[in-house]
């Protein structure tokens, strides 16, 4: 019991530090400029894809987006304000994870985690028919054996950083997600996939195992026995089967534009926007921390997290809005 209370006190301290960092964070425009992965700061057309789609829509998807960017970071506007989209864009390599892309992802996530104006992050692909093919095996083949372990550690750390983002994260899987690509999606809070999408942890075919969290997050998502079955067999499942086993939360029929999962993810993100920002962050922390401990300790974690929402300005505004029968105007404080 003493150990549990000590851990609870530590949690309270960490939580205060996280909320304090969020409250003192810079506005989203500075976060956009600090990331070398993209120079576009906003998007007026969150559904666009490619030059043809932008021309058809009559407006640019990203204000300064360049075709060669391997990771596109977009802060959406208007009714989507607060939603940030990270788009993988290595078309020549099926979005395979290489050193440069991991570096870009890490910088983008580092900027997002301290930006209190960010409410939800969507991970998607800018390449039709593919989400992420996993690690870049062509690059790995050129690595010295001593470099491989460092690369895998970097991939694991980057995906862990994604998992630890304080705001809700959604993976929009409109195409194939294999190996590290599925591990990336598993690190998100919610996964949405097209029925035609293909997913699997196929590393055992290469005589290795998932090394970026797959052996841990997959069993926590679909259960130990089934996770072992999929990893042992290197089986690939489509969107319908993924939904039936609990690997994804939503499955949608693919559309002509090839972005049905992204559209569904965007609709989900819009559902999150009206809620209290601090409450959303603390709720995610309570759930994530609680799932790693027994129920009694988990309830204590919930109590500590709930206490962090009581003195916030958002809570006062929420109660006042309820009393006055109007939408709340939250500021994330």
Active site residues: 135, 180, 183, 203
Neighbouring-strand partners of residue 135: 97
Q: How far apart are CA 315 and CA 24, in angstroms?
A: 19
Q: How far apart are CA 295 and CA 291, in angstroms?
A: 8
Contact assessment for residue 15 and residue 285, using Cβ atoms and an 8 Å cutoff? yes
* Alpha-carbon distance values, 328 to 77, 285, 331 (Å): 19, 23, 10
Contact assessment for residue 126 and residue 88, using Cβ atoms and an 8 Å cutoff? yes
Task: Look at residues 70, 67, 74, 73 and name the one whose alpha carbon lies nearest to residue 93.
Answer: 70
Q: How far apart are CA 42 and CA 65, in angstroms?
A: 10
- When computed from its CA atoms, the radius of gyration of the chain, rounded to whole angstroms, is 20
Neighbouring-strand partners of residue 238: 198
Give the E-state strand segments of the chain in sequence order: 71-75, 83-88, 120-125, 130-132, 169-173, 176-178, 190-194, 198-200, 237-238, 250-252
Q: Cα dihedral angle (224, 191, 240, 207), rounded to 10 degrees?
A: -50
Per-residue tokens: 65: 């987006």
């Amino acid at each position: 019991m003493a150990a549990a209370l000590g851990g609870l006190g530590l949690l309270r301290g960490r939580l205060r530090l996280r909320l304090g960092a969020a409250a003192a964070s810079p506005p989203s425009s500075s976060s956009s400029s600090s990331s070398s992965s993209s120079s576009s700061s906003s998007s007026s057309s969150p559904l666009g894809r490619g030059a043809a789609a932008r021309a058809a829509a009559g407006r640019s998807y990203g204000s300064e987006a360049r075709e060669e960017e391997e990771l596109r970071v977009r802060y959406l506007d208007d009714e989507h304000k607060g939603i940030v989209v990270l788009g993988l864009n290595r078309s020549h390599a099926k979005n395979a994870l290489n050193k440069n892309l991991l570096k870009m992802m890490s910088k983008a996530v580092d900027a997002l985690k301290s930006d209190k104006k960010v409410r939800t992050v969507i991970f998607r692909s800018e390449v039709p028919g593919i989400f992420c093919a996993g690690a870049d095996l062509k690059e790995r083949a050129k690595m010295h054996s001593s470099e491989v372990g460092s690369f895998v550690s970097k991939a694991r750390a980057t995906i862990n950083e994604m998992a630890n983002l304080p705001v809700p994260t959604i993976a929009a899987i409109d195409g194939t997600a294999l190996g590290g690509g599925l591990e990336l999606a598993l690190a998100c809070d919610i996964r949405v996939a097209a029925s035609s999408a293909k997913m699997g942890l196929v590393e055992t075919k290469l005589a290795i195992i998932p090394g970026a969290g797959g052996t841990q997050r997959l069993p926590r998502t679909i259960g130990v026995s089934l996770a072992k079955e999929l990893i042992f067999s290197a089986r690939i499942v489509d969107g319908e089967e993924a939904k039936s086993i609990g690997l994804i939360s939503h499955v949608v029929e693919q559309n002509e534009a090839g972005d049905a999962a992204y559209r569904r993810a965007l609709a989900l993100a819009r559902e999150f926007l009206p809620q209290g920002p601090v409450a959303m962050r603390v709720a995610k922390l309570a759930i994530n921390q609680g799932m790693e401990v027994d129920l009694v300790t988990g309830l204590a974690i919930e109590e500590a997290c709930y206490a962090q929402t009581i003195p916030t300005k958002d809570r006062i505004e929420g109660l006042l809005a309820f009393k006055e029968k109007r939408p709340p105007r939250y500021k994330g404080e």
